[in-house]
Structure 1
Amino acid sequence: MNMCISVSENWCAVLVLFSVLIIGKAEIFIVTIEGEPIISYRGGVDGFEATAVESDENIDTTSEIVTSYARHLDLKHDMLLGMLFEQGTYKKLYSYRHLINGFAVHISPEQAEILRRAPGVKSVEKDWKVRKLTIHTPQFLGLPTGVWPTGGGFDRAGEDIIIGFVDSGIFPHHPSFATRNTEPYGPVPKYRGKCELDPDTKKDFCNGKIIGAQHFAQAAIAAGQFNPSVDFASPMDGDGHGSHTAAIAAGNNGVPVRMHGHEFGRASGMAPRARIAVYKALYRNFGGFVADVVAAIDQAVYDGVDILSLSVGPNSPPANTKTTFLNPFDATLLSAVKAGVFVAQAAGNGGPFPKTLVSYSPWITSVAAAIDDRRYKNHLNLGNGKVLAGIGLSPATHSNQSYTLVAANDVLLDSSVMKYSPSDCQRPEVLNKNLVQGNILLCGYSFNFVVGTASIKKVSETAKILGAIGFVLAVENVSPGTKFDPVPVGIPGILISDVDKSMDLIDYYNISTSRDWTGRVRSFKATGSIGDGLMPILHKSAPQVALYSARGPNIKDFSFQDADLLKPDILAPGSLIWAAWSPNGTDEPNYAGEGFALISGTSMAAPHIAGIAALVKRKHPHWSPAAIKSALMTTSTTLDRAGRPLQAQQSSETEATKFVTATPFDYGSGHVNPRAALDPGLIFDAGYGDYLGFLCTTPGIDAHEIKKYTSSPCNYTMGHPWNLNTPSITISHLVGTQTVTRRVTNVAEEETYVIRTRMAPAIAIEASPPAMTLLPGASRKFSVTLTVRSMTGKYSFGEVLMQGSRGHKVRIPVVAMGYKR
């Protein structure tokens, strides 16, 4: 074997040692170098056999061929750094070997510049931060997920499918992940991930259900942001978010959701028998770093996961990459898909504004969030006969009995406590227990609740400590479009979110309360009672697109130019989802110390799709990630439960929220339908070569940039990016007439499909042929021709519907904007 393990062959000839002057403050950089990663190495280096596989296949990572090539890459990375820099002036954090060939390193900007110019170095990107995609503040309200088909009604739902979660870790002792009362889990030979030990208990995190658990924090540590006492130097979830997403996708079936002595129902994952592999790279106080997240993804694919669930997105665009599809995050995920891994990613929470997506690429399934049909409502009955509507996930006060209302500001122990803003009832020690006991405590909803320094949980604890019968939180001023989450509490409690109703309450209280000349209360005479808020009310208007869910159109670069690709891909429940929580979790102050939480975000929607993808993968183990995505998309629905077109929440200056008819930029192909996805009839398949063609034909992307990230030369036979075989059609700049081709494969019995089209009047649409018959396993092409009829300056929406003689319905959205030239 050649002793000079070269980074690029000219290193052998010239060994230049730079003595580096380290000036700037060290930062983290992600570096890619020449030479193929394991996934695409086809041989050519002396002594190392090829490790590459055909598209959508899993690599046998246990083989000696793979492990020796991995060691070779490791050594190359170390040699490059050792040749350029003196020992002790840099720190390598990770070697990336499987999906990309490169490493993360902690160096000064001056050293990064030297690396950039070194032979064999392809790219040097400064690391940047990522965040969890949950919605926190009471500004957003979704509605709890109702009944969801848990595994399509079969006991083996998702059996032996491994879902990898790149998230904030897991709380392994939660009943959603317990194996005590389940059929035993056998070994899964193809998975080679490891289980870290808990540094405190010395026990590992795995139990058969949880099959792997690792944490990635090198970049966070190097950046000085990691605090082991709260972030845990282990896969332990110090946040709550990771346990919540894992339980949504793969939590045990029928776990009772108990809080404050009430059972809110039973929680179940989408694929209750799927295995959970934990790759912790997110932390509660600062989110995470791309270098850690890429290391986690690289490891997850190397370990053999089938599905990746990502409820994480970049905080901001990367510094150097101009193309959205080639930022290091998406480029790594392209290699994951090449390895046969299905990727579900949260679309982002920047809605309802356009172009707010943080998930861009065709090889990723980007998931938007819906609100479902359960609403939790409550009411406050006042002594003057008025009934005020509000929100309160709480029990009622005793029936037929009214209680005296006492305002926090009127029961202060002394006036010096005003500096604590006592009206928000966060500090029981400043209020007079003798005056509160046996009464209903009236509190004010202040800005502290919005920023998270005050919580409804704390109000309920204050009321309990003081012996109050219950509490009322009145919202006195609010910005338009603000939404409030119902929070489960153990005593009667209600939030009056409508400002007018809060004024009715305050007026009644002031009229009924007599005061002396100093303003001190002589007697409390206002009375009231709180209704039962524990039972949900079911609405037929569901599902609806949540206000916060990120909207299209998709962008091809960070100058926000429109892409010829529809995003998001699909809509799934994401608002007020009940699932497991970590008692250590402080991610949401209302659930500190609890075992379950009711939270919202596209973070909650992505694992629904990851779990449903596991059900499809279990039924069709040889399907590619694109085939699974196609099955989910073409069988989705664009109608709500009442049979009307889906609606989307929009912010409004006048009302809290208004509803508008939703478009594919809100929901992609529509709301997921798990049962139909198991039997889609036809699929639109695509692989690595097709994605490469998409990149190569997208105007504005430099072929050198594509080669830098994919190590593949460009192939332009696709002609246009809109010819990528996706289950949607998008032409962002349609001039005159364009014909788009698609190829479908029959995954059912022989069937004849009639093809129908419809489109908004500004664009004419026609499909050819009008019908086709496919034998089992056969593929056929069809074309869709779009012609500009009138320029409206807006996108037009339509669809292609393929109706099968055996009852299959295959629907794809069509989106286009017409231009003169």
Structure 2
Amino acid sequence: MNVRKRSRLAAALTAMVVTVALVAAALQSAGADPLPPAALPQPAPGTYIVTLTDQPIASYDGSTNGMAATRPKDGRKVRTDTDAAKTYRGFLTRLQDQVAGLVGAKVRQRYSVTLNGFAAELTPLQAQRLQRTKGVVSVVKDSLHTATDDRRSTDYLRLSGESGVWESLGGVKKSGEGTVIGVLDTGIWPESPSFAGKPLEEGEPEGDAQYQPYLDGDEIVMEKSDGSTFRGSCETGEEWTADECNSKLIGARYFADGWTAAVPPANRRDFVSARDGDGHGSHTASTAAGNHDVSASVDGIPFGKISGVAPAAKIAAYKVLWRNSTSAQANGYTSDIVAAIDAAVEDGVDVINYSVGGGSDSPHTDPIPLAFLSAASAGVFVAASAGNSGPAAATMDNTAPWVTTVAANTIQPYEGTVELGDGRKFAGASTTVREPVGPAPLVTGAAVKTGSATPEDAALCGPDSLDPALVSGKIIVCDRGVYDRVAKSAEVKRAGGVGMVLANLAAGSLDADRHTVPTVHLDPPGGPDVKAYAETAGATATLLDGNQTEDKPAYPQIADFSSRGPSPASGGDLVKPDLSAPGVGILAAVAPPSNEGRDFDFLSGTSMAAPHVAGLAALYLTEHPKWAPMRIKSALMTTAGNLKDAAGKAFTDPYAQGAGVVQPAKMFDPALVFDAADDDWLSYLEGLGVDTGTGAEAIDASDYNNPSIGIGELLDHQTVTRKVTALKPGLYRAKINIPGIEAKVTPSILNFDEAGETKTFKIKFKKGSAPFDQTAAGFLTWTGAKTTVRLPVAVTPVQLSAPEQVSGSGRSGSLDYEVVPGIDGAFPIKKFGLASGTGEDGSLKPEEQKQYPVTITDGTKASQLTVRSENDQADLDLYLYKVGATGPVLVAQSAGPTADETVQLLAPEAGEYVAIVEGFANAPETETTPYTFRSALVTPESDDGPFTVNPTKPTAKIQEPIEVTVRWRRLDSNTPYLGFVEYVDGSGTLVTIN
């Protein structure tokens, strides 16, 4: 409503009253529709939103005479607590009441800050009259909107909605159509509505039933969008018939030869069929390609509707992981996994999801990576989880370049709030607080322990550690660690507690677990602060639904548990992970028997992130059915975006996030792509020293044509090469910024005359101010007229490059090797050792184990633990754990297919360790495997044999190799020895003898 300006507020208000009166007169003279005859049915009244023309508080510029402006100045937030804002709000309130009164309506809800308007119950006739009223912008019927909830990963990724990716592909029914995702996992639960479909019928469907699967005898057949054919099977087995498959689930096979051979029937806790005995496989399958708009509830609590990333894609399940009584997690054998990869490619899947890992970086020559090389060569896109061993460096698995390795990031969390009796509030993750719990007494687990429990165990709320007489009716603070998170809430429930605060005492992930009592999971400072308050007399707390604080968590953040690079398999010359995707608190289908009867559940891990990328690859194949896997990978990576740190600032660590978080809305417009195929992979392997037998030319791993650039050891300077293909012709300009590293792109301008043209460019890197042994990171971008193509760059300057280990044998001998310096000048070389350590004999049956305490002292240069057996047909495994306050932590393992195993550590952390030798298999016709366990520590005092190194004081010149010779004499040829050669930067080379 516009009113003439006057000098005093009273005059403005008078004018407003006059204007409203004129509006009323105008409404009467406008020829409003007469009331309908009483005999006709009246439209039911409804809620309408009436928007008025006057500016709301946030944008009011002072144009109404007598009232000061309330619009904030640049860079500031609007304030509604000022006198000016209160005065203007009163003005708007009176105006709204006047307009509503014109039709006899009562304001039910009013808006004054970002909108000047109100909601009211109106008949259609009243709404029509107000719509024609001067000063009214609009009258809109209140309608139901389904929010794009960032707690739902498909909404967070902007797949849903009228402007979402699904709609751009022709709708949900077209998104992933004509593609098949093969899921290598724990099987699938076919009764889940996420996998519901029509029964399969014999014979090819008639008419225009495109991409519809059908039965051809025992085979399930589907013509795909790329013109090829999927031919799968629905393998019968325990609690599984061929009828379990349908038009959604078009393949179900299981691979158990290795598992059944190794695990006795008494130790099996699974269905010997494709039926999911764990829930993990159903979760990953439904995340990648579950049906659209499936209602999901957990423990009777509805959480809305969920969907797979590619809801129109078909699913083929390949069960390779199994539940045993001897393991907390499902696991599988390489033999079964490789067989499944083989079968999936043969069946004709387009995408493989592999949410499986070995716990450490596997050599690219292991069977599984090589099987995936063949899969990629056959045009199958492979998405694989990076691992859950973060945030420590070099903890990833599945790092081969032909695989897309996926890290896990957060999305908007489900939250709850702990309100303390002193008024402080802390928000954290929660899916179990729906109604307020409390106020109730707040105590730590240690304060209510049983008489037999240790304070440390009770603080962790370990099993049977809490005293019901002391717990009943209280909220318990439980430290995170050692025990399963849900086991802690189960202990609180057993003891009669009404709620739990799960406290991270150090920064860690926040998990949306379904606890058995209402629980809020807190990170620092909340965890330590709440625990400290709980230790005071009379402490109380209330658990509340949602985030009731002003502190809103930034997202997406890289998950704390997500494994990090660099990849030892490539020496850090290949940036891994490739990218990140949602992997924290993901709601999807599970198997009820192994998940406390739940059909759906929240799970976290890179296992949850990988199927998001698998689904995106299927969407890509909807648009580009014949694109090769590395082209899709390139498109996903070069259009990815930054994550955030805890403060909400850009997070750009390439060894944590790779290229960044996937952005589906941008992925179909990559402009430039970095292709790679068989020849590139073979040359990459040759460059790592692998003889492929193909005659492929060896390349430095840094020169592999990846849409990222890594140099694990920059010896002052290095030049890398990339080839790029244009999808859009035009001019592209390069920009590169790596703090502390001088980088030059040649040529810096690429002009593509037509799509499909390929050009080569080089980037020269030279160390600047960046410190040694710390990764310098940044981005190379190619910017065209409307598109930016971005590659992550990770460069680590080093003072030298030397082999990690050299090995020899015999009583006396020598070894020669090269050290390449990255600096000029003095280059001292020192030797430590030899150390033979102490040995102890033992003998084990399969599944038996023996523990050996190991103490590592300050100043230890290197350690080596060995297991040796004369029985070359037996299999023993060796594990090393560090003993800490929260329990043992696995730090190294050697679990090959022989009885001889070795674990080595360079500059190990001082402390108490436990080595475990475990029997895996005996030789035929033997009951036990005899062995010798030996522990050797190289310290400055070690001197178990004559050992020399030469030269000791060379002068270094950048990138000119130094020839190093080590010699030993008069050793016991039956005893293993360990030495260490140390260089100017404190790094060194292990010398193992015998």
Match of 1:578? 587
- Give distance in 2, aligned partners of 1:474 and 1:792: 39
Match of 1:762? 741
- Give distance in 1, aligned partners of 2:610 and 2:398: 11
- Whether 1:356 and 2:395 are equivalent positions in the alignment is yes
TM-align CA RMSD? 3.9
TM-score by length of 2: 0.56
1:230-273: CA deviation from partner (whole Å, max 9, x where unpaired): 21101111111111111111111222221233222322211111
Alpha-carbon deviation of 1:493?
Answer: 4.6
- Whether 1:627 and 2:653 are equivalent positions in the alignment is no
Code of the residue aligned with 1:580 in structure 2: it is A
Match of 1:253? 292
For the Cα contact (< 8 Å) 1:626–1:687, is it kept in 2?
yes
Match of 1:679 among 656, 669, 672: 669
Alpha-carbon deviation of 1:457?
Answer: 5.6
- Give distance in 2, aligned partners of 1:724 and 1:231: 42
Match of 1:199? 238
The alignment partner of 1:313 has SS state of coil
Alpha-carbon deviation of 1:389?
Answer: 5.5
- Whether 1:715 and 2:697 are equivalent positions in the alignment is yes
Match of 1:367 among 389, 396, 406: 406
Match of 1:234? 273
TM-score by length of 1: 0.67
Match of 1:816 among 762, 787, 795: 795
- Give distance in 1, aligned partners of 2:724 and 2:717: 23
Match of 1:776 among 755, 761, 771: 755
Match of 2:566 among 553, 573, 578: 553
Match of 2:192 among 165, 174, 198: 174
Match of 1:487 among 513, 525, 545: 513
Q: Do the aligned partners of residues 421 and 566 (structure 1) sit closer, same or farther apart at CA in structure 2, a change above 3 Å counting?
A: closer
- Whether 1:508 and 2:537 are equivalent positions in the alignment is yes
1:556-705 correspondence to structure 2 within 5 Å = 556=569, 562-585=571-594, 591-638=595-642, 640=644, 646-647=650-651, 662-698=652-688, 701-703=689-691
Code of the residue aligned with 1:775 in structure 2: it is E
- Whether 1:294 and 2:338 are equivalent positions in the alignment is yes
The alignment partner of 1:786 has SS state of strand
- Whether 1:264 and 2:303 are equivalent positions in the alignment is yes
Alpha-carbon deviation of 1:451?
Answer: 2.2
Match of 1:149? 158
Q: Do the aligned partners of residues 507 and 390 (structure 1) sit closer, same or farther apart at CA in structure 2, a change above 3 Å counting?
A: farther
The alignment partner of 2:569 has SS state of coil
Alpha-carbon deviation of 1:581?
Answer: 1.3
For the Cα contact (< 8 Å) 1:307–1:342, is it kept in 2?
yes
1:540-572: CA deviation from partner (whole Å, max 9, x where unpaired): 732111112111122236xxxx24221111111
> Larger % of helix: which?
1
For the Cα contact (< 8 Å) 2:386–2:398, is it kept in 1?
yes
1:743-770: CA deviation from partner (whole Å, max 9, x where unpaired): 222224x332222222223333233042
Give ranges in structure 1 of 5+ residues lacking alignment.
Answer: 1-141, 319-323, 510-525, 586-590, 648-661
Code of the residue aligned with 2:581 in structure 1: it is A
Code of the residue aligned with 2:721 in structure 1: it is T
For the Cα contact (< 8 Å) 2:255–2:319, is it kept in 1?
yes
For the Cα contact (< 8 Å) 2:283–2:589, is it kept in 1?
yes
For the Cα contact (< 8 Å) 1:150–1:253, is it kept in 2?
no
- Give distance in 1, aligned partners of 2:460 and 2:718: 64
For the Cα contact (< 8 Å) 1:144–1:575, is it kept in 2?
no
- Give distance in 2, aligned partners of 1:642 and 1:390: 13
- Give distance in 1, aligned partners of 2:444 and 2:794: 55
Q: Do the aligned partners of residues 764 and 274 (structure 1) sit closer, same or farther apart at CA in structure 2, a change above 3 Å counting?
A: same
Q: Do the aligned partners of residues 428 and 690 (structure 1) sit closer, same or farther apart at CA in structure 2, a change above 3 Å counting?
A: closer
> Larger % of strand: which?
2
Q: What is the identity percentage for the equivalent residue pairs of Structure 1 and Structure 2?
A: 34
Match of 2:432 among 361, 385, 394: 394
For the Cα contact (< 8 Å) 1:342–1:625, is it kept in 2?
yes
Q: Do the aligned partners of residues 422 and 503 (structure 1) sit closer, same or farther apart at CA in structure 2, a change above 3 Å counting?
A: closer
User: May I ask how many residue pairs the two structures share in their alignment?
Assistant: 610
Q: Do the aligned partners of residues 802 and 429 (structure 1) sit closer, same or farther apart at CA in structure 2, a change above 3 Å counting?
A: closer
Q: Do the aligned partners of residues 394 and 199 (structure 1) sit closer, same or farther apart at CA in structure 2, a change above 3 Å counting?
A: closer
Match of 2:556 among 543, 549, 553: 543
- Give distance in 1, aligned partners of 2:549 and 2:339: 42
Alpha-carbon deviation of 1:576?
Answer: 1.6
- Give distance in 2, aligned partners of 1:224 and 1:609: 33
Match of 2:778? 798
1:593-634: CA deviation from partner (whole Å, max 9, x where unpaired): 212221211111111111111111111111111101100011
Match of 1:440 among 465, 473, 476: 473
Give ranges in structure 2 of 5+ residues lacking alignment.
Answer: 1-149, 201-208, 214-221, 224-228, 798-821, 823-957, 960-994
Code of the residue aligned with 1:599 in structure 2: it is L
Mean Cα deviation higher: 452-461 or 796-805? 452-461
- Give distance in 2, aligned partners of 1:786 and 1:355: 23
For the Cα contact (< 8 Å) 2:581–2:662, is it kept in 1?
yes
The alignment partner of 2:263 has SS state of coil
Code of the residue aligned with 1:745 in structure 2: it is T
For the Cα contact (< 8 Å) 2:361–2:567, is it kept in 1?
no
Mean Cα deviation higher: 751-760 or 480-489? 480-489
Match of 2:766? 787
- Give distance in 1, aligned partners of 2:199 and 2:548: 29
- Whether 1:159 and 2:186 are equivalent positions in the alignment is no
The alignment partner of 1:725 has SS state of coil
1:394-433 correspondence to structure 2 within 5 Å = 394-395=432-433, 397=435, 402=439, 424=461, 431=468
Alpha-carbon deviation of 1:348?
Answer: 1.4
For the Cα contact (< 8 Å) 1:578–1:597, is it kept in 2?
yes
- Give distance in 2, aligned partners of 1:380 and 1:697: 58
Alpha-carbon deviation of 1:326?
Answer: 1.0
For the Cα contact (< 8 Å) 1:380–1:390, is it kept in 2?
no
Match of 1:13? none
- Give distance in 1, aligned partners of 2:355 and 2:549: 27
For the Cα contact (< 8 Å) 2:440–2:475, is it kept in 1?
no
Mean Cα deviation higher: 481-490 or 340-349? 481-490
- Whether 1:186 and 2:204 are equivalent positions in the alignment is no
Q: Do the aligned partners of residues 742 and 389 (structure 1) sit closer, same or farther apart at CA in structure 2, a change above 3 Å counting?
A: closer
For the Cα contact (< 8 Å) 1:379–1:389, is it kept in 2?
yes
The alignment partner of 1:238 has SS state of coil
For the Cα contact (< 8 Å) 2:389–2:395, is it kept in 1?
yes
Match of 2:483? 451
1:498-540: CA deviation from partner (whole Å, max 9, x where unpaired): 244234234334xxxxxxxxxxxxxxxx865432249999957
- Give distance in 1, aligned partners of 2:572 and 2:439: 60
1:298-319: CA deviation from partner (whole Å, max 9, x where unpaired): 111111111111111124577x
Alpha-carbon deviation of 1:814?
Answer: 2.4
1:786-810: CA deviation from partner (whole Å, max 9, x where unpaired): 23446731332232211112x1211
Q: Do the aligned partners of residues 474 and 493 (structure 1) sit closer, same or farther apart at CA in structure 2, a change above 3 Å counting?
A: closer
Code of the residue aligned with 1:610 in structure 2: it is A
- Give distance in 1, aligned partners of 2:360 and 2:565: 17
The alignment partner of 1:299 has SS state of helix
1:8-46: CA deviation from partner (whole Å, max 9, x where unpaired): xxxxxxxxxxxxxxxxxxxxxxxxxxxxxxxxxxxxxxx
The alignment partner of 1:171 has SS state of coil
Code of the residue aligned with 2:626 in structure 1: it is H
Q: Do the aligned partners of residues 317 and 362 (structure 1) sit closer, same or farther apart at CA in structure 2, a change above 3 Å counting?
A: closer
- Give distance in 2, aligned partners of 1:388 and 1:744: 49
- Give distance in 1, aligned partners of 2:488 and 2:291: 29
